[in-house]
Structure 1
Amino acid sequence: MPQIIETVDVSVPVSVAYNQWTQFEEFPKFLDEVESIQQVTDTLTEWKVSVAGVERTFEANITEQHPDERVAWNSTGGEVDHAGVVTFHKLADTETRVTVQLDWEPKGLLEKLGSAVGVGGHAVKKDLKNFKEYIESTEHPDGAWRGEVQA
């Protein structure tokens, strides 16, 4: 499975960055490939994405969540096979490092070719840049879920 690791520093407190990341239904505002996400339960989400013009749906299960530290997930069915973790590191009172690690299995010729030339990493880097622009421009998260999920 290819692995992608990307990092961005955002000029907001760690709690603001973390709180925004827990608002999965708002991801289409800054993740280009995400069409929609529905929060089914505290730990289950349903995703609809468009990758290279191909729509895919899947469920993702939150496997671990610790406020202001990390959110981990894996896909549980559907057309996308992936797992990941996002971590939040306080650099200063109003500066946070956000790191995404994503393991995914490309499907079809186009995705496999894209994976071979690093398209996935570029997409994650762009999405993190979009997240930075979004959260720094609003300065307030769209909401927050501060519950714990133990691995």
Structure 2
Amino acid sequence: MPAWHRLTCPAPKVEESIEVDVPVRIAYNQWTQFESFPHFMDGVERIEQRTDTLTHWVTKFGGVDREFDAEITEQIPDERVAWTTVGGEVKQAGVVTFHHLSDNKSKVMLQLDYDPEGFAENLGDKLGFVKRQITGDLKRFKEYIEDRGRETGSWRGEV
């Protein structure tokens, strides 16, 4: 993308949220289990947690295969997980926050800033595919955690 475009055109941003019928602690704990994301995120083939703060992603969206690393830049138990991609051609940063609504209900909010690459990704962005993808992923997360009623694991450390 030309430098002038980056200066004059803000990166696309998506903000979505969903209420889940589990306590904040359970929703947060499950979200820290990055290797489980393929169970509810379409297009995510595999995630490897390489260190406490580094994950490696293998994805396939709209016939486009990508591999990239993401670094967790902030993690506060039961509150938030923030990340940014490092190196490579995928450019994104995001944060997911967890909000207590009641003893057995919480809200999961996801914000994502990304930089689409190439014609297909830019077209997909203009047609709202990323927003629909995130909405669907959050709905599948809700089903995944509510059907289980408990997390598959947890990481309670802070970054």
Matched AA of 2:89: E
Matched AA of 1:145: W
Cα deviations by residue, 1:32-83 (Å, 9 ceiling, x for unpaired): 0110000000000000011111110000000000000000000002231100
Matched AA of 2:137: D
Matched AA of 1:75: T
Equivalent position of 1:117 in the other structure? 127
SS in 1 for 2:100: strand
- Structure 2: distance between partners of 1:11 and 1:93: 9
Equivalent position of 1:18 in the other structure? 28
Out of 92, 99, 115, the position equivalent to 1:105 is 115
Q: CA RMSD in A?
A: 0.6
- Report the CA distance between 1:108 and its aligned residue: 1.3
Out of 120, 132, 135, the position equivalent to 2:142 is 132
2:85 is aligned with 1:75: yes
- Report the CA distance between 1:117 and its aligned residue: 1.7
Aligned residues: 149
Cα deviations by residue, 1:71-108 (Å, 9 ceiling, x for unpaired): 00000022311000000000000000000000011111
Kindly name which structure, 1 or 2, has the bigger radius of gyration based on alpha carbons: 2
- Structure 1: distance between partners of 2:134 and 2:90: 16
Structure-to-structure mapping, 1:45-84, within 5 angstroms: 45-84=55-94
- TM (norm. structure 1) is 0.97
- Structure 1 stretches of 4+ with a deviation exceeding 4 A read none
Out of 33, 37, 58, the position equivalent to 1:27 is 37
- Report the CA distance between 1:118 and its aligned residue: 1.2
Structure-to-structure mapping, 1:86-97, within 5 angstroms: 86-97=96-107
Uncovered stretches (5+) of structure 2, i.e. residues with no partner: 1-10
Uncovered stretches (5+) of structure 1, i.e. residues with no partner: none
| Residues 74-83 or 96-105, more deviating | 74-83
- TM (norm. structure 2) is 0.92
